[in-house]
């Protein structure tokens, strides 16, 4: 009984497709990938309004786009302006600046990718975002990220707060940093830790959080879950291990060693909504890709990758290089996994809204955590 529970809940590996293969991960090749589970396809049909055939076709197209992105990035070189997955067309769109060579354009188009010309390179937009990261943002400024489609850095401001003096001052300084567009969002982001509730995957201090996914020797999760009490306890309140490292704010990641009769498995828990998902690697899913989240409060939900490398302005401080999704989450889901297909993407950080009315959720990319602590993702 305990063995089964540990594998399913105690190590409810909540996966997120990572940005690029991390050191120590073992991403599967296209030929090695197992067909999508019936449960995953059912979830995509439910959350995206697709037929089974459409869901299968979208997953196949997303796998191709994920594999293609690093190739076209190298081909475009300094002219690269970003890329995203176009779900309607089932193709990768690549943004390039007007100075892109004819040879590079031919090579990119030969891959089947769509090419779009933009005014600013990804490097220029990243530099603008870095300048914004050095500013102190008021709480009404929710986040900011590079939007390759718009060719600008998007600053998200809580609805109705644009006229606040401190917001207007921040926006004025932001516009001096480079190309900036302001958008309104429904609410400010918060983290998803929760008070202690019986029967959930792990506890530390006075909070409950969710396990992210297995690494050799332990698991990764959200940094804000670390209450600096050291010890971590599983669903049955038995001792699991200790926090070995954590960072929040600036980052939102942590890792816990596993022992005392607990062990790691390369699985993301489906909670009976879908089949438990095997983890086979951590290749990064492009913007526009479908992605699912597993957490101890709201269990399994799916959505779309909305933006990458976004700076999120929590009340505790800014967290950088986050990925934004349309997936909902609630308190207690913090630290849980995001997964795209069979590729781990990251651990749940925070967001706004809930799984009744909807919302948005950010995750900390898993590959950054692996690289930071020299960890190896446990894969099937």
Q: Residue 166 is encoded by which pair of tokens?
A: 């401190």
The set of residues, in sequence order, having a beta carbon less than 8 Å from that of 312 and lying 6+ positions away, is 142, 143, 189, 318, 319, 322, 349, 350, 362
Q: Which residues pair with 56 in a beta bridge?
A: none
252 is catalytic: yes
| Distance in angstroms (rounded) separating the CA atoms of residues 145 and 362 | 12
Report how far residue 224's alpha carbon sits from residue 222's, in angstroms, rounded to the nearest whole number.
6
Q: 123 with 78: CB under 8 angstroms? A: yes
Classify residue 21 by its DSSP letter: P
Q: Cis bond leading into 114, ω under 30°?
A: no
* C-alpha separations of 16 from 90, 189, 230, 267, 373 in Å: 21, 19, 25, 12, 18
- Pairing, β 152-158 against β 180-185: parallel
Q: Are 304 and 289 in contact (CB under 8 A)?
A: yes
Catalytic residue among 121, 246, 282, 334: 334
Cα angle for residues 146, 151, 152 (degrees, 5° grid): 50
Q: Is 334 a catalytic residue?
A: yes
Q: Which of 226, 252, 276, 333 is catalytic?
A: 252
Report the alpha-carbon distance of residue 154 to residue 109 in Å, rounded. Answer: 28
Apex 149 CA angle, 146 and 154, nearest 5: 35
State the maximum Cα–Cα separation within the chain, in Å, rounded to a whole number: 63
Q: Which of 79, 143, 200, 224 is catalytic?
A: 224
For residues 341 and 354, what is the distance between their CA atoms, to the nearest angstrom? 24
Active site (catalytic) residues: 224, 252, 334
């Amino acid at each position: 009984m305990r063995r089964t529970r540990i594998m399913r809940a105690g190590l409810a590996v909540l996966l997120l497709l990572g940005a690029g293969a991390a050191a120590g991960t073992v991403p599967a090749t296209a030929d090695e990938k197992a067909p999508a589970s019936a449960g995953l396809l059912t979830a995509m049909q439910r959350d995206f309004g697709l037929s089974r055939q459409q869901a299968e076709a979208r997953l196949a197209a997303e796998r191709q786009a994920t594999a293609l992105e690093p190739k076209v990035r190298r081909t475009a070189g300094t002219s690269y302006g970003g890329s995203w997955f176009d779900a309607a067309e089932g193709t990768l769109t690549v943004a390039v600046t007007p100075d892109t060579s004819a040879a590079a354009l031919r090579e990119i188009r030969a891959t089947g990718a769509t090419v779009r010309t933009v005014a600013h390179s990804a490097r220029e937009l990243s530099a603008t975002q870095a300048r914004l990261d050095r500013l102190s943002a008021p709480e009404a400024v929710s986040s900011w990220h590079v939007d390759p489609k718009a060719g600008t850095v998007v600053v998200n401001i809580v609805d109705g707060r644009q006229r606040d003096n401190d917001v207007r001052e921040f926006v004025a300084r932001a516009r001096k940093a480079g190309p900036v567009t302001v958008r309104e969002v429904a609410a400010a982001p918060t983290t998803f830790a929760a008070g202690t509730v019986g029967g959930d995957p792990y506890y530390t201090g006075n909070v409950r959080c969710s396990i992210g996914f297995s690494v050799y020797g332990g698991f990764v999760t959200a940094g804000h879950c670390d209450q600096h009490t050291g010890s971590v306890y599983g669903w049955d309140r038995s001792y699991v291990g200790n926090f070995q490292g954590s960072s929040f704010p600036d980052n939102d990641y942590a890792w816990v060693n596993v022992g005392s009769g607990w062990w790691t498995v390369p699985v993301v828990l489906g909670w009976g909504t879908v089949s438990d998902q095997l983890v086979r690697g951590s290749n990064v899913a492009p913007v526009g890709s479908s992605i699912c989240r597993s957490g101890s409060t709201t269990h399994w939900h799916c959505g779309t990758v909305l933006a990458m490398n976004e700076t999120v302005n929590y009340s505790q401080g800014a967290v950088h290089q986050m990925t934004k999704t349309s997936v909902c989450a609630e308190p207690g889901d913090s630290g849980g996994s995001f997964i795209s297909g069979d590729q781990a993407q990251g651990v749940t950080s925070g967001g706004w809204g809930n799984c009744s009315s909807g919302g948005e959720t950010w995750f900390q990319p898993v590959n950054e955590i692996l690289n930071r602590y020299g960890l190896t993702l446990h894969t099937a």
